[in-house]
Amino acid sequence: MNPEDGAAPAATGEPTAATEHASGGLPQFDVATWPGQIAWFLILFLLVFLTMKKVIVPRIGGAIEGRDAKIEGDIADARRMKTEADAAAAAGAAELSSARANAQKLATEARAKAQGELAARLAEEEAKLAATTAVAEAGIAKARESAMANVATIGAETAGLIVERLTGSKASAAELKTAGNA
């Protein structure tokens, strides 16, 4: 009979698909195949373990060490840069303080110089004004003296005119002089 026809196989001792299926289990659970499975498991485990130990773990460890070294280097650079920045900030603050002190000193000196120049100019103008005032007062005094000198003459002339109008006759010079001294 032909096994392809669906007829029963000859009793040759070979398991068929039907008998394997009928044995009721997976080959992993067949105790007869365990020694081979354990051997292959140990071989594969040993290969994976050696591959991990010799190739993968050193690469990962190297990458981790490299990353740690880079992080440490970056942190050291950052600390160095922070120190430099702090030093630069302190130097800048010192320069700013010095510049402010210089500016205040220059402003004080300029203010003092301007006040000195203003005081000198004010004194000069006051001196000119005092000189002009003295000249004007001298002119006024001279004009007053001149006017006072002529007051007696003007008074006498005015008295003579008044007498002439009131009386119709002219007053004599002696009478006018006596009236001016009174």
pLDDT value of residue 155: 78
Q: How far apart are CA 28 and CA 103, in angstroms?
A: 94
CA distance 71 to 109: 56
**Whole-angstrom distance, CA of residue 35 vs CA of residue 106:** 101
Kindly report, residue by residue over 71-86, the tens digit of the pLDDT: 999 999 999 999 999 9
Residue 92: is its pLDDT beyond 70? yes
Domains of the chain, by residue range, sit at 48-181
Position 3 pLDDT exceeds 50 = no
Amino acid present at 101: A
Query: What pTM value is reported for the model?
Result: 0.38
Taking only the tens place, the pLDDT of each residue in 107-159 is: 999 999 999 999 999 999 999 999 999 999 999 998 888 888 777 777 778 88
Average pLDDT, the chain: 84
SS3 call for 25: coil
pLDDT higher than threshold 80 for residue 89:
yes
